[in-house]
Amino acid sequence: MKFDTAAIHVGQEPDKETGAVIPPVYLTSTFAQHEPGQTRGYDYTRSGNPGFDRLGATLAHLEQAKYATVFGSGMAAVNAVITTLSSGDHIVAEENIYGCTYRIYDKVFKKFGITISYVDLSDPANYAEITKQKPSLVWTESPTNPLLKIIDIEAVAKAAHDAGTELLVDNTFASPYFQNPLALGADISLSSTTKYINGHSDCLGGVVCTNSEDWNEKMIFAQKAAGLNPSPFDCWLISRGLKTLSVRMKQHAKNALSISEYLQDLDCTETVRYPLLPSHPQYELAKKQMRGGSGIVIAVFDLPIDQVIKLISNLKLFSLAESLGGIESLICHPASMTHASIPKAEREAVGITDGLVRFSVGIEDADDLIEDIQNSLKNL
């Protein structure tokens, strides 16, 4: 089954009992048993619900994975993976990862003796650190949040496997429509389904996809033991959103390319980055590894900080908000918003400067979005 068909049909078969074309939401915390321990497959929603299985089946198919476990948020999925580690374990991570992933390691798991070191995984010279540090896990995103660095998943997976370890890729920015980390050799593909997969900014969710039976069992255990489960209703919403992933992603990518070309020609931008702009430092790799550039664009404005803030605050169609991947355009200032939890010196060392702006380009008409930016620039 091709992607567009699978997104609509896999895991979403009509309800067996009633024929309802849209499967019902099982809003129940618990399930009646025939005899003690004799269930119909479900006992308590923290450890399973038909809606989790339906969404998981669709996501596993789209990620080309054998297994998918769904969680209450992207961070719950991150948390699930980290709970499998032990005191004394070490992680090697790409230096530009999502701010809250950085924070959960720094503020929570460091206390339990899990260490992490950050390297620039866009530079193959640094693969040697994986060999040298022999981590329990290598952790990366690609494209990274917010800098849109492209990490060579196939090469890093090989380096990890050669060192006897495994690779996790946070695939939130690309979505399974544009990239399948497992097919490129990664062991775990994790996503915040809050973003493109749901696509409508109305609930939170997360997923861990894998081909490893061992990792799958650990994720099912983490879901129930640590209480990281999603809500059945949110799974229903995400399943609904997922059906239109391909049509949305095509339009996100088309609009994002138009906006990045427009921004690139402005005198007031120092750098504009989009994976499929030929000026992107890893353009060739992006073309090889991704089937499209997704919908995030970043620009570094050569303007004083107060002007940058004014520019983004005065937009009418781009709402100033955290998050990304919804049908409506959003704009964000990472240094003061999503990545504020990273100390300023560390943030700037990896390139998250005060002039950096992240556009989550929606599926509106690109001409209207460009006009919105033009008007805000005129009013500076």
List the catalytic residues. Answer: 46, 98, 170, 195
* Whole-Å CA distances, 157 to 22, 80, 118, 167: 39, 21, 17, 6
73 binds ligand PLP (CB under 6 A): yes
Work out how close the CB of 172 gets to ligand PLP at its nearest, in angstroms, rounded to a whole number. Answer: 4
Per-residue binding letters, 18-57, with ligand PLP (x by CB under 6 A): ----------------------------------------
Residue 19 half-sphere exposure toward CB, CA atoms < 13 A: 0
Q: Toward ligand PLP, which CB reaches closer, 96 or 269? A: 96
376 binds ligand PLP (CB under 6 A): no
How far apart CA 223 and CA 108 sit, in angstroms, is 18
Which of residues 95, 152, 170, 354 is near ligand PLP by CB under 6 A? Answer: 170
75 binds ligand PLP (CB under 6 A): yes
Alpha helix (H) ranges present in the chain? Answer: 3-9, 50-62, 74-82, 99-103, 127-133, 153-162, 175-178, 213-225, 232-242, 245-264, 283-289, 305-313, 344-349, 366-378
Work out how close the CB of 133 gets to ligand PLP at its nearest, in angstroms, rounded to a whole number. Answer: 23
Is the previous residue joined to 143 through a cis bond, with omega within 30 degrees of 0? yes
How far apart CA 140 and CA 127 sit, in angstroms, is 12
CB count in 10 Å sphere of residue 294: 30
Instruction: Name residues contacting ligand PLP, limited to 112-151 (CB under 6 A).
Output: 141, 145
CB count in 10 Å sphere of residue 123: 9
Residue 17 is given by DSSP the state: T
Work out how close the CB of 77 gets to ligand PLP at its nearest, in angstroms, rounded to a whole number. Answer: 8
CB count in 10 Å sphere of residue 104: 17
Do the beta carbons of residue 313 and residue 303 sit within 8 Å? no
How far apart CA 79 and CA 84 sit, in angstroms, is 9
Which of residues 48, 74, 232, 275 is near ligand PLP by CB under 6 A? Answer: 74
Q: Toward ligand PLP, which CB reaches closer, 163 or 209? A: 209
194 binds ligand PLP (CB under 6 A): yes
Q: Toward ligand PLP, which CB reaches closer, 77 or 159? A: 77
Work out how close the CB of 98 gets to ligand PLP at its nearest, in angstroms, rounded to a whole number. Answer: 4
Say which residues have a Cβ less than 8 Å from residue 146's Cβ, sequence separation at least 6. 96, 296, 298, 332, 334, 338, 339, 352, 356, 358
Q: Toward ligand PLP, which CB reaches closer, 173 or 178? A: 173
Work out how close the CB of 191 gets to ligand PLP at its nearest, in angstroms, rounded to a whole number. Answer: 8
Q: Toward ligand PLP, which CB reaches closer, 74 or 199? A: 74
69 binds ligand PLP (CB under 6 A): no
98 binds ligand PLP (CB under 6 A): yes
Residues that bind ligand PLP (CB under 6 A): 73-75, 98, 100, 141, 145, 170, 172-173, 192, 194-195, 204, 206
